[in-house]
Amino acid sequence: MKKKFLLNQVNKEPYIDLNIKDLQKWNKLDEITYAQMQRQKYKYEFFQKAFDLIYDNTIVGDYFEFGVHRARTFRFAMSQAKRRNMKKIKFLAFDSFEGLPDVNNNIKQNDKFKKGLLITSENKFKNYIKNFNFYKNNVKMIKGFYEKSLNKKLIFSLKKQNTKACLINFDCDLTQSVDQALKFSMNFLQEGTILYFDDYFSSYKGNPNKGIPNIIKKRFKKSKFNIVEYLNIGYAAKSFIVYNK
């Protein structure tokens, strides 16, 4: 009896349904859909947790996203803010709306970071967020390559409105883009701001002495703020919380 029971249990291993039937006819589209479903699921979970922490720590501020493309994470942020009835929050969308720039060593960083990839026009972006009409007046799109768009005039105008960030999403792949975005963002940090770096482990194959981890270290070394590790997200992202030194 005991033997039969044990045999049955072993047959149930590995206890997770691997859907072997599906795997027999697995094609390229399945591969992409599967990867995206996994990735977006973990990102969405992060936004649920991050907004819960913002709520619990009473962090008042705006949402910045560098690299908005198809507005997937942008919509996650808007939906989670709305669930907390955050009425005054603004959503700042920073993008070239012309895809990735050429920074000379795109492919060295990751062979998926080719120049001109990931283009979403402004109109397409607006269309992706059209159902979020309750936040129609809270969204601000800042078009242009960061080298030019993240300028002193913009810093001045945002500071004049006492802008502070509650959550900043760095989802612009290239180290140079993240560095420009982070340098700009240093002006709008406060104790409790959450920083999310989408490509933390996917630039330079995760080498901590290169790419995104390296520029984060450098920027905070000379800042009045410091960061503490918060959550690791999905396969490549990492987040931090800002605090006063």
**Alpha carbon of residue 152 to chain centroid:** 24
Q: Which is nearer to ligand SAM, 69 or 164 (CB)?
A: 69
Q: Which is nearer to ligand SAM, 138 or 177 (CB)?
A: 177
Q: Which is nearer to ligand SAM, 38 or 57 (CB)?
A: 38
Q: How far is the CB of 208 from ligand SAM (least distance, A)?
A: 21
Q: Which is nearer to ligand SAM, 67 or 192 (CB)?
A: 67
CA neighbor of 172 nearest in space, from 206, 140, 200: 200
Q: Which is nearer to ligand SAM, 74 or 240 (CB)?
A: 74
Q: Which is nearer to ligand SAM, 175 or 193 (CB)?
A: 175
The string of DSSP codes covering the chain is -HHHHHHHHHHHTTSS---HHHHHT--HHHHHHHHHHHHHHHHHHHHHHHHHHHHHTT---EEEEE--TT-HHHHHHHHHHHHTT--S--EEEEE-SS-----S-HHHH-TT--TT-S---HHHHHHHTTT-GGGGGGEEEEES-HHHHS-HHHHHHHHHTT--EEEEEE---SHHHHHHHHHHHGGG--TT-EEEETTTTTSGGG-TTSHHHHHHHHHHHTSSEEEEEEEEETTTEEEEEEEE-
Q: Which is nearer to ligand SAM, 32 or 60 (CB)?
A: 32
Q: How far is the CB of 177 from ligand SAM (least distance, A)?
A: 3
Q: How far is the CB of 173 from ligand SAM (least distance, A)?
A: 5
CA neighbor of 204 nearest in space, from 104, 111, 80, 66: 111
Q: How far is the CB of 159 from ligand SAM (least distance, A)?
A: 21
Q: Which residue is nearest to ligand SAM (CB)?
A: 67
CA neighbor of 212 nearest in space, from 177, 245, 167, 165: 177
Q: Do 117 and 88 meet the contact criterion of CB atoms below 8 Å apart?
A: no
Q: How far is the CB of 232 from ligand SAM (least distance, A)?
A: 18
Interface residues toward ligand SAM, by CB under 6 A: 67-73, 95-96, 99-101, 118, 120, 145-146, 171-174, 177
Q: How far is the CB of 137 from ligand SAM (least distance, A)?
A: 22
Q: How far is the CB of 123 from ligand SAM (least distance, A)?
A: 14
